[in-house]
Copies of this chain bind each other. A is one copy, B any other.
Amino acid sequence: MSEVYVIGAGETKFGELWDRSLRELAVEAGLKAIEDAGIYSRDIGILYGSNSLGAGISYQNDVGSLIADFAGIAVEHTPAVRVEASTASGGAAVREAYLAIKSGEYDVAVVGGVEKLTEVYGSEILDLTSTLLDSEWEAFFGATPAALAAMTARRYLDDFHVSREIMAMISVNDHSNASLNPDAQYRNKLTVQGVLDSVSVAEPLTMMDCSPLSDGAAAVVLASEEFMKKMKIEGVRIVSSEISQDYLALHSRKSVYEFESAKIASRKALEKAGIKNDDISFVELHDSFSIYGLIELEDLGFAEKGNAKSLVENNEIRLDGSIPVNPSGGLKAKGNPYGATGVGQFVEAYLQFKNRADKRQIKDVRYGMLHSMAGSGSTSVVHILGGE
């Protein structure tokens, strides 16, 4: 089996991009990634489109075909398929591209993730984001992603005696890093008090505990080792790519604050890479809500259950800490355009490995872990990059 490398990456700015359409965003990111890789469109074997809510928001299904069409690569008859795994669509699409190259059928695969969430508002967007939950057994009864996260937060904070302030620091850290990322949606710094004083969304979560509604696109070019060497490109190796699953409905899980999917996928990814959590130089995790940042730090193996607080308290999650979290700014501050979010993690990782992350550059990067998660944890995709 060929090894698989990231050989190019690009993204749009994340934000409220009123004047840009789904197709425009996707193609901007895709072209940036292709240019960055220094390949031609005819080199592309297959395109994976990652998008979650385009059908509901922009009346557009078949987003893979849309991107292939507007990017002009349909003229080469490059196949295009859309992968959807809720908010883990990005990570899942990269994994499909990884498998496609591993299969020996393709040398080069492009993954384009795109989402346009600001086209609708109010109860309509709330209904649409709730299609990511179990519609009959959760959303129908009024559950929303934020409501489920809030229930999880209450229980977690209480059971593990974690202060409200510690949870807020996940958002503070995201904003601090995002202030150094020109592609981020929110570049303002945030204080713990600022999080606490913000509008309540679902107690105990305030607006500053919740990732925003974002528009944006991100793309990566993956290639086989053979292709990369032939083209004399230096890529970043995908050391492992793992995916795992839990029940879709939160009420069926063993525990509301253990993401089994994240545990299993990360454990397998570390095993395959033959490394330990200590070897990871940074982690991009899926903190769609600040509480998830704490829980994932634990389930990805960086802390014991209930003890992520000590990493936060001791500033270990900062850019200069022992395990920098979300150097990109994370879902809270870089933004959360669902289909693009997991692909955007690859863009950040690629820049870090290429020493192109400017003021948020982490020193001596060896391995990076990327965690893309669906909704409240039904699917987790974990990638480990680096290692050479």
Contacts and interface: CB of A to CB of B under 8 A. Distances in A.
Contacts of A131: 55, 59-62
A85 B82 contact: yes
Given A62-B378, A65-B374, A131-B60, A246 B55 contact: no
A135 interface: yes
A64 B134 CA distance: 11
A135 B58 contact: yes
A261 B62 CA distance: 15
Contacts of A68: 245, 248
Contact of A53 (B55, B86, B249): B55
A122 to B, nearest CB: 17
Nearest to A101: B103
B99 A244 contact: no
Given A53-B61, A61-B52, A379 B102 contact: no
A116 to B, nearest CB: 12
Given A79-B244, A264-B77, A378 B65 contact: yes
Nearest to A51: B84
A331 B328 CA distance: 48
Contacts of A264: 77
Contact of A99 (B66, B83, B103, B130): B103
Contacts of A53: 55, 61
Given A74-B247, A83-B82, A99-B99, A65 B379 contact: yes
Q: A56, A64, A79, A95: which has the most chain B beta carbons within 10 Å?
A: A79
Contact of A379 (B75, B81, B83, B104): B81
A95 to B, nearest CB: 8
A84 B62 contact: yes
Contacts of A261: 77
Contact of A84 (B61, B102, B248, B374): B61
Nearest to A106: B99
Contact of A69 (B65, B78, B79, B249): B249
Q: A245, A246, A375: which has the most chain B beta carbons within 10 Å?
A: A245
A277 to B, nearest CB: 20
Nearest to A253: B74
A162 interface: no
A136 interface: yes
Interface in A226-278: 243-249, 252, 260-261, 264
A54 to B, nearest CB: 8
A297 to B, nearest CB: 20
A86 B62 CA distance: 5
Interface of A: 1, 21, 23, 46, 52-53, 55-56, 58-62, 64-66, 68-69, 74-75, 77-86, 92, 95-96, 99-100, 102-105, 127, 130-132, 134-136, 139, 243-249, 252, 260-261, 264, 374-375, 378-379
Closest 5 CB pairs of A and B: A102-B103, A62-B86, A69-B248, A79-B243, A65-B378
